[in-house]
Amino acid sequence: MFVRVCEIMAIPKAIIRFMPEQHDVRRALDDAMALCRTILPAGQDDALGNAQIVLAEALNNVAEHAFAQLDLVEARLTAKLETGRLLVTIRDRGQAMPGLRIPEARHHDLSGDPADLPEGGFGWMLIHELTDEIRYDRINGVNRLRLWFQLTGSGEGPRLPQ
């Protein structure tokens, strides 16, 4: 049931089809990272690390939305080098984001009883923190999520709290 096509051509892109099943998300992420590694210059381990965390969350979201429909997911992922930034675009025909908006980062209160610590809800926060810019739109039933990552040595990037 698992179908996967990964094409790396003049315009780098990966067409990633996967069943909405988590092992397939793992393979899709590996394909996406192989694509990013192909187009990034050397010395961008930090940007690659950020992209891996963000794309894992984004692809899991795509799979989750498809779970609701019990359909084959086809996500098309392209990556492109811009001035000082990496742009990764994910297109899919799954459910639209609620309100056609990118969910905001949720910041949890960790100060209470350890028994109340959150076990989820970190995904969008990681996406917001590790990207330089995010845009989402939906045209003719196709979700388009664009994620920009700052490259090392090109000015201000996302900063980790010290």
Partner 1 sequence: MSLSSTIENETRVISVDSNRIDAAMAVQFKEDMRSETAQGPDRVVLDLTNVEFIDSSGLGAIVASMKQLSRNQKLDLAGLTPNVQKVFRLTRMDTIFTLFPTLDDALDGQRA
List of residues contacting partner 1 (CB under 8 A): 22-23, 25-26, 49-50, 52-53, 56-57, 60, 108, 110, 114-115, 117-123, 125-126, 129-130, 160-161
Q: Is the Cβ–Cβ distance between 149 and 79 less than 8 Å?
A: no
Is the Cβ of residue 52 or residue 152 nearer to partner 1 in the bound state? 52
Shortest spacing between CB 150 and partner 1, in angstroms: 14
Which of 24, 23, 31 has its CA nearest to residue 5? Answer: 31
Shortest spacing between CB 24 and partner 1, in angstroms: 9
Is the Cβ of residue 106 or residue 135 nearer to partner 1 in the bound state? 106
Shortest spacing between CB 99 and partner 1, in angstroms: 22
Shortest spacing between CB 92 and partner 1, in angstroms: 17
DSSP one-letter code for 74:
E
133-137 CB contacts, 8 Å cutoff, 24+ apart = 134/102, 135/102, 136/97, 136/100, 136/101, 136/102, 137/100
Which of 35, 36, 6, 33 has its CA nearest to residue 18? Answer: 6
Is the Cβ of residue 53 or residue 138 nearer to partner 1 in the bound state? 53
Is the Cβ of residue 122 or residue 136 nearer to partner 1 in the bound state? 122
Q: Count of CB atoms within 10 A of residue 54's CB? A: 21
